[in-house]
Chain A
Amino acid sequence: MSAASDVRRLHSLPIRIPERKILYRLGYKGRNAQVSDTVSEMITEQEKRLGTLLRPEALYRILNYDETNQHPVFKGAAKVALCICTIGEELERSSAALIEDNEMLRGFILDSFGSEAAEETAIQADRIIAQEARGLGLWPSKRFSPGYSIWDIREQSYMFATLPASEIGVRLTDTFMMVPRKSVSFRINFYRNREQTTRRFG
């Protein structure tokens, strides 16, 4: 738990990344795409490093609607969960070092693992938050990030003012980008009625 009692901190999230997701990022999109042994070996080699490079963590906070900044995207929600996740900066450093060392492909593969790991961290946090909504007798929405639809990227400032992101080593730049880059921020609205949410199976 965080110092602020209503902020929950998740860590040691189990991250599993199917190889097909990495292959997709590497452009292997056709059914007949043949992956060379060399590339397969490089993927396996970088995957083995993830144990020491990934630090998947998340912070979230559940607010009553009237405790939020009442942005239009929260309208109709009984409560709103705000969450920031990251995989830490070790993987990014390591990927950059590989590229610097003329190991562009290894660096790109590792970076792809990082992108998928950040997404998987968000998925895990999303599941936990959705369960919590259900425990409160409410219906969780899908997760949405600042920068999508009418929720402007500048709302990142509100996210970072509401959550002590520095506790998991995430900061915001002047242009509203998160550092480490492999970080995700999102909201989930909790509704009183199932009809209000578009999340499948409520």
Chain B
Amino acid sequence: MEQDTLLSEMTQSIIDGNRNQAEILAREAVSQGMDLNAVIEQGFVPGIQRVGDLWEQGEYFLPELITSAECMKAVMNILQPELDKANIRARSLGKVVIGTIEGDIHDIGKSLVASMLGANGFDVVDLGADVKLDRFIATAQEVEADLICVSALLTTTMLLQKTLVAHLREQGLLDRFKVMVGGAPVNQRWAQDIGAHGYAENAMTAVQAVKELLGSRLEP
């Protein structure tokens, strides 16, 4: 199959949320010895971007977003080992440490955000739920993160988002790591009040918000 056709089919497989087809095409790209960064950026990424557009236009809904994100994950599970073997680094839009704050055991909303960010080209370290403040900071330092995403689902636990930002400020790390907050009781005003850099209402707007937050860092 022509490479252009293959790239175009890769895009379509993500738009369709067709995991089997996406996996077949990813394997085909490997077997043809294609430039895998080009495969990702010109084949699969345009698909997930189109899915985001369709969501914004009200054509797609959460299930389509999730399905397409799952396809991207499946594709990367095939391509990443090949990139590693060839000692090639997949281009990343940035490194994100994400988790639900200490004392809060809600997980699924945060997992959706992690999944969407991963599908859209960010390196994501998901710490899970009930994450101690120190662990957010230590992990961000360890992996040299660009951004810390902190979810809280209760009015009681959201207060710890403020504490986290304060700790980062005290340690002189607030310039090094951007902080984005989210969760049911959280809003833009809260993010501003506590000194967080960003806020996202849902998984898809989180992708856009993170791109905007990290945009200035990622430009060459």
A binding-site residues for B, Cβ under 8 Å? 26-28, 30, 33, 36, 38-39, 42, 95-96, 99, 102-105, 107-109, 111, 147, 153, 173-177, 179, 181
Interfacial chain A residues near B104, Cβ < 8 Å: 175, 177
Interfacial chain B residues near A42, Cβ < 8 Å: 63
Closest A residue to B157 by beta carbon equals A175
Cross-interface CB contact of B154 among A33, A96, A147, cutoff 8 Å: A147
Q: A147 CA to B155 CA in the complex, in Å?
A: 8
The answer to whether B103 touches A175, judged by C-beta atoms less than 8 angstroms apart, is yes
B29, chain A: closest CB distance, angstroms: 21
The answer to whether A176 touches B156, judged by C-beta atoms less than 8 angstroms apart, is yes
Interfacial chain B residues near A99, Cβ < 8 Å: 108, 111
Is B174 engaged at the interface, CB distance under 8 Å to the other chain? no
B156, chain A: closest CB distance, angstroms: 5
Is B179 engaged at the interface, CB distance under 8 Å to the other chain? no
Is B220 engaged at the interface, CB distance under 8 Å to the other chain? no
Apart from A28-B61, A102-B74, A105-B66: 14 A-B pairs, beta carbons within 8 A:
A26-B61, A27-B61, A27-B62, A36-B64, A38-B63, A39-B63, A104-B112, A104-B115, A105-B63, A108-B66, A153-B154, A173-B105, A177-B103, A177-B105
The answer to whether B105 touches A153, judged by C-beta atoms less than 8 angstroms apart, is no
Is B211 engaged at the interface, CB distance under 8 Å to the other chain? no
Interface residue ranges of B52-72 to A (CB < 8 Å): 58, 61-64, 66-67, 69-70
A200, chain B: closest CB distance, angstroms: 26
The answer to whether A108 touches B112, judged by C-beta atoms less than 8 angstroms apart, is yes
Interfacial chain A residues near B132, Cβ < 8 Å: none
Q: What is the total number of residues of chain B having a CB less than 8 Å from a CB of chain A?
A: 25
Q: Given the known A-B contacts A26-B62, A179-B105, are A102 and B73 also in contact in the complex, defined by CB atoms under 8 Å?
A: yes
Q: A95 CA to B63 CA in the complex, in Å?
A: 15
Closest B residue to A148 by beta carbon equals B155
Q: A44 CA to B15 CA in the complex, in Å?
A: 23
What string of 1s and 0s marks CB contacts (under 8 Å) between B89-131 and chain A? 0000000000000011111100110010000000000000000
A43, chain B: closest CB distance, angstroms: 9
The answer to whether A102 touches B154, judged by C-beta atoms less than 8 angstroms apart, is no
Q: Given the known A-B contacts A104-B115, A108-B108, A153-B156, are A173 and B103 also in contact in the complex, defined by CB atoms under 8 Å?
A: yes
Q: What are 9 pairs between A and B in contact, CB < 8 Å?
A: A26-B63, A27-B63, A38-B17, A38-B67, A42-B63, A99-B108, A104-B70, A111-B108, A175-B156
Q: A102 CA to B73 CA in the complex, in Å?
A: 9
The answer to whether A104 touches B111, judged by C-beta atoms less than 8 angstroms apart, is yes
Closest A residue to B55 by beta carbon equals A27
Interfacial chain B residues near A36, Cβ < 8 Å: 63-64
Q: A33 CA to B73 CA in the complex, in Å?
A: 26
B131, chain A: closest CB distance, angstroms: 13
Q: A181 CA to B61 CA in the complex, in Å?
A: 26
Interfacial chain A residues near B66, Cβ < 8 Å: 104-105, 108
The answer to whether B106 touches A181, judged by C-beta atoms less than 8 angstroms apart, is yes
What string of 1s and 0s marks CB contacts (under 8 Å) between B153-193 and chain A? 01111000000000000000000000000000000000000
Q: A162 CA to B45 CA in the complex, in Å?
A: 55
Q: A164 CA to B35 CA in the complex, in Å?
A: 62
Closest B residue to A152 by beta carbon equals B156
